[in-house]
Amino acid sequence: MNSGGALPTSSPLFLHLFGGLFRWWYFRRGFHAVRVSKSGRPILPDGRPVIVYTNHPSWWDAALFVLIASRRFPDRRHFGPMDAAALERYGFMRKFGVFGIELNTRRGAATFLRTCRAILADQRTMLWITAEGQFTDPRLRPVRLRPGLAHLMRLVPEAAVVPLAIEYTFWDERYPEALFRFGPAFVPAQEEQAVRGDVAAWQHLLEARLEEAMDGLAAESIRRDASLFEPLMRGAVGVGGIYDFWRQIVALITGRPFQREHGKPES
């Protein structure tokens, strides 16, 4: 576990390698597609470190962060906290910026703040936080976040803060869709004076802006319209196995084109 104050390990090479592994092995085999909402492409201010905070619907979230970071933000150094006990089981994740935190202890909270401040002292860094702190259904309202992020905003008001909504759902295929949508970036130091330095007010603001992004993503997910999203990658299609093999034989015999997708093929 990081003792706080020192910068955790973050290897761009490992991020690139594991980003490729997650893309080609895990996500392509496990998902029909990974999609980012066209309504939520963050514009990050130059010369500032970035905090991305998210809801936490699934085990897949950490892998999704690696995929997004390696594909969309390759020029930044990426970090993220994780339950220290869980990190013991996934120790390889330390290679690309994951650091352990003791949950529900004063020492863990203090370590979180010290380590995050050290990370965010570099304007090239990007910190990824599952701010709900535990697996939570994305439909649960109101959104409730752990208070550590609100305290961090008070300590590092010059960082850019970006809410990120995540959802996993099934549409027309056997395999699920991984959907995400960024909310607008904001800088705490540039917010209304009444909010600055007030942890309770920051907590309310963070929860409201993440909930807004989650509601927007839920509305797009319900529409089941792939054109609302930009595909970060496409993965598995079809039923697979003997069934798809038999359909290919039938298509060959009848001279009809073989369509692996259950739904309408995407361009």
Helix, strand or coil, per DSSP, at residue 253: helix
Fold classification of 12-236 (topology level): Glycerol-3-phosphate (1)-acyltransferase (3.40.1130)
pLDDT at residue 266, as a whole number: 65
pLDDT at residue 125, as a whole number: 96
For the beta carbon of residue 137, count every other beta carbon within 10 angstroms.
9
CB-count burial class (<10 Å; 0-12, 13-18, 19+) for 39? middle
pLDDT level of residue 229 (50, 70, 90 thresholds): very high
Let me know: does 128 contact 80? Beta carbons within 8 Å. Answer: yes
Domain ranges across the chain: 12-236, 238-267
Please list, in sequence order, all residues whose beta carbon lies within 8 angstroms of the beta carbon of residue 184, skipping any fewer than 6 positions away: 42, 43, 162, 209
164-179 pLDDT tens trace: 999 999 998 889 999 9
Query: Measured in Å, how far apart are the chain's first and last C-alpha atoms?
Result: 46
137-194 pLDDT tens trace: 999 999 999 999 999 998 999 999 999 999 999 998 889 999 999 999 999 988 875 5
Let me know: does 77 contact 15? Beta carbons within 8 Å. Answer: no
Question: DSSP alpha helices (H): ranges in 121-259?
Answer: 148-155, 199-223, 241-254
CA distance 66 to 96: 8
Let me know: does 168 contact 60? Beta carbons within 8 Å. Answer: yes
Full-model pTM: 0.85
CA atoms within 13 A on the CB side of 207: 17
CA distance 163 to 222: 20
127-136 pLDDT tens trace: 999 999 999 9
pLDDT above 50: residue 29 = yes
pLDDT at residue 25, as a whole number: 72
User: 131-145, 211-225, 234-248: which range is least confident on average?
Assistant: 234-248
